[in-house]
Structure 1
Amino acid sequence: MTTSTPWQQRLATGTEDIQDEVVTLYRQSRSSRAFLPTMIWGTLQTEEYATVILRQVVEFLGVPDDVPAGVAKRMERQGVLYDGEHEYEVVLGEQALYTNVGGAKVMRGQLERLLREIELPSLKLGILPATAETDVIPMPGFNMYDGTLASYELVSTGVDITDPAELALHVKAFEAISRAAVYGDDAKLLISEALTRWSGGS
Structure 2
Amino acid sequence: AEAIRIAACPDHRDWEGRMLKDIAAAEGISLEDAVRGATTGPRGKETICIQFTIAEDDIVTNLRHPLVMVGSDGIPNLNGSPHPRLFGTFPRILARYVREQRVLSLEDAVHRMTQMSCDRFGIANRGLIAEGYIADLVLFDPATVEDLATYDDPKLEPAGISKVIVSGRVAFDAGTHTGTGAGRMLRFRQAG
Q: Tell me the TM-score normalized by structure 1.
A: 0.29
Q: Tell me the TM-score normalized by structure 2.
A: 0.30
More helix by share: 1
Q: Which has the higher contact order (CA 8 A, sep 6+)?
A: 1
More strand by share: 1
